[in-house]
Chains A and B, each alone.
Chain A
Amino acid sequence: MERSRRNFLKISGICLLGLGVKPVVHALAKNEQPQILPGPDAMTAKRWAMVVDTKKCVDDCRDCIDACHQTHNVPDFGNPKDEIKWIWHEYYGHAFPGQEHEYEAEEIERKPFMVLCNHCDNPPCVRVCPVQATWKRSDGIVMMDYHRCIGCRCCMAACPYGSRSFNWRDPRPYIKETNPEYPTRTKGVAEKCTFCVERLAVGLMPACVEACKHGALVFGALDEPDSPIREILRSNFTLRRKPELGTRPQVYYIV
């Protein structure tokens, strides 16, 4: 081949491209997900799920919300545009859109419905994430890796429950009291409820469940036929949000 500056540059370019391919090969060769390792007292299950008993839920009570948001360093920006929330109130018509009708019992209309991530069996957010920053664990919990998320917000478009939040700005100055037990996030990443994996790993119930004095939130293993959650599901009529979408949500509502 003719030795010219042009050819030299061409070959250098190709070599550089080759170097760029190396990490891709690496990534394909090994692919392990980060994990929260269970401690000796860890609670384990093949399928975690939650029941929200709206009959027991008390108007204007914020215990579960405050407990969750304090535990997980959820900031409060004071504006709805940037808002981050893991668990919150909705009215019936918003939690179950399309189900409401004009002649609804006043009690149903007024009741707070706690909504959170449904930890779907078939989660669309996991399907769309281009970097596997969100994935479903073997116990059914849909997890988030804040260090992996590139902030494309595909998951927010994909979630049919509006359960995902995004750090539109640096959250740290807006956290009232930082809990050193749980990481704070940086701007530009998505987040949501994780069924408190970090608490389950040390044998504690999710913060919201623990905080609820009225027993309106029940958390447990779906795979154990004798578990309290199975007993509740057996003896009550329960609803799930938007089951027609095929996401198979794992938060059940007693209305």
Chain B
Amino acid sequence: MLEKALTGSKKYWSWITLLLILIGIGFGCYLYQLSRGLTITGMGRDISWGLYIAQFTFLVGVAASAVMVVLPYYLHNYKAFGKITVLGEFLAVSAVTMCLLFVLADLGNIKRMFFLLLYPTPNSIMFWDMIVLNIYLLLNIVIAWNTLAAERKGVPPPAWLKPLIYLSIPWAVSIHTVTAFLYAGLPGRHLWLTAILAVRFLGSAFAAGPALLVILCLIVRRISKFDPGKEAIQNLGRIVTYALLISIFFVALEFFTAYYSKVPGHIHGLQYLFFGLEGHAKLVPWMRVATVLAIIAAILLVNPNTRKNETILGFACAATFISLWIEKGIGLVLAGFVPNPLEKIVEYTPTAPELLITLGIWATGFLILTVLYKIAVSVKEEVAA
């Protein structure tokens, strides 16, 4: 089926070229990082994880959210999602790939990356995260590829696929839970040391991922003959609505615990993010934008009249995605390091090469997504014709 990705319109090839250019620039910057070390990033002894790990964390959520189309279709036999499960799974494939690339970009010693396999360490959450992410990637590739191949041939998917599909459902939950455990089990990092971090992650993931999927469905419908279906898009919209409201609720819970108990450690991180701490307020404008976008999205999504309008739905989903990207893909990871263990405040600004590497990895993800979606959509067009 790969050959389907090799034929396309001029627009398709221009998009691919653009992505390849971004990947090339990112890779060039990565080579620079490889020779000079991570000193070329904005990270330092106080903010020791930056944009890379933050993107990784956010994208694990996008990957996990594929379960939001897989579960209703396979467990509840909700037919409207049948057409888009493969889109959800391919989105997961590209998102997990980006996750893995971000982790690799963040490693100080890339040539030793196989030590992770050579010295398996079950007490380390990083070790488990590496395992669950790789297996999740494999599961989604195998499942999506085989269902699509069966669809193309007009036969039902092979029977051995069913257990894998069922396995992929709890597995999706596991990848984001384990990723949350990377943070939620660290003593002394108060912003992260919260038992609801894993469910908060899942909540925001199930809003951000399906929001992106709605946008992708709308794009697919516009540029191809394949229609994901009004009902499927509307129901994705409902999932985004509930998940967004739940994730806003979770953040409100954090605020209550911190500000009612008045325990300084609990307050500091949130204060730094939303109001500024002792005059340090670099992330405040970002968090304000995220808050405003979340409120606008929530209003537009809750109101059935606006949600049913696909243009407004698309806008609300974009607002949701950007808002949650700021919350998790910037704020949460960085603010966990503020103040530092010695209660000093150091702020972080990513450098140009760091931004370009980040952009390059996003472009790699979108390249994979484009190619996989091109194949899926071509097969679906072929079957329909």
Contacts and interface: CB of A to CB of B under 8 A. Distances in A.
B125 to A, nearest CB: 7
Interface string B317-338: 0000000000000000000110
Interface string B82-126: 000000000000000000000100111100111111111101111
B45 A166 contact: yes
Contact of A83 (B45, B118, B189): B45
Nearest to A85: B45
A213 interface: no
Q: Secondary structure at chain B's binding surface: helix, strand, loop or mixed?
A: loop
Nearest to B115: A131
B124 A94 contact: no
**Contact-residue bracket for chain B:** 35 or more
Contacts of A148: 112, 115, 119
B344 A94 contact: yes
Q: Secondary structure at chain A's binding surface: helix, strand, loop or mixed?
A: loop
B49 interface: yes
Contacts of B183: 157
Interface stretch (B32-40, B72-80, B206-214, B280-288): B32-40
Interface in A74-119: 80-84, 90, 93-95, 97-98, 115
B127 interface: yes
Nearest to A153: B48
Interface string A20-40: 000110011001000000000
Interface stretch (A52-60, A63-71, A122-130, A228-236): A122-130
Contacts of B117: 23-24, 27
Interface in B336-383: 336-337, 340-344, 346
A187 B110 CA distance: 11
Contact of B188 (A82, A115, A151, A160): A160
Interface stretch (A175-183, A201-209, A218-226, A241-249): A241-249
A128 B125 contact: yes
A80 B44 contact: yes
A129 B186 contact: no
Interface of B: 36-39, 43-46, 48-49, 103, 106-109, 112-121, 123-127, 130, 182-183, 185-189, 264-265, 336-337, 340-344, 346
Given A98-B264, A148-B115, A153-B108, 9 more contacts: A23-B114, A90-B342, A128-B186, A131-B119, A152-B108, A152-B126, A157-B189, A162-B342, A169-B36
26 contacts: A23-B117, A24-B117, A90-B342, A97-B342, A124-B187, A130-B124, A130-B126, A130-B130, A131-B115, A132-B119, A150-B113, A152-B126, A153-B48, A157-B186, A157-B189, A158-B186, A162-B46, A162-B340, A162-B341, A166-B108, A168-B43, A169-B36, A169-B37, A187-B37, A189-B108, A242-B188
